[in-house]
A = this chain, B = another copy of it.
């Protein structure tokens, strides 16, 4: 599998993370060599990545998105196995925190949420292989490259994965505004935890919801009934970090 990473931050983070094989760096002729571009050139040089200059039209032909004049041909996204992710989580001193996405379809939402997940320091992210967006170039871009540093596992069946995580001692919290959900900040989120975010519009699938140990929701005080999925997930992730920091400070 080969892939194109595009945009200044995504290419910079990909080269910094060193988790893909890099085939070629392509830069737009006449690109302004600001700080990030200089760092990209230096990292590519150190790693012995072949470089090529091309005109903007050639780059536009390769990527139909805002590439900012920087393209990196590389191997596909380096998914990890679920148990590698959990093993790595177990080696850290803090309680594991895994983010699970149930059939999210919008690359912008997935990338934005993954960027937050990286910022709060989750152990890893789990997505389902079929019927959901994978870690495509658009997701890498929307994550501003953060996903290059994160451990992401792709699984065949998310509901079964929840059972496997429970056997490993994680509690599973589903984020959904339903009647029996608790207000998110009233739930104890400091232990080993998996958090499930449902898809835009439809929420979690029934089989996924049923395997959650408890449901949490954000209070809604306006006249519009829902939040953007990546915002709701991000607010929940930051509340988990807040609770853990408060507990650690005690």
Contacts and interface: CB of A to CB of B under 8 A. Distances in A.
A144 B13 CA distance: 32
A138 interface: no
A166 interface: no
A222 B185 contact: no
Interface in A12-28: 13, 16-17
A2 interface: no
- Tell me how many chains of this kind the complex includes: 2
A121 B223 CA distance: 9
Interface stretch (A70-78, A155-163, A191-199, A230-238): A230-238
Interface in A185-220: 185, 218-220
A224 B112 contact: no
A219 B231 contact: no
A151 to B, nearest CB: 12
B221 A119 contact: yes
A227 interface: yes
Interface in A131-183: 144-146, 149-150, 183
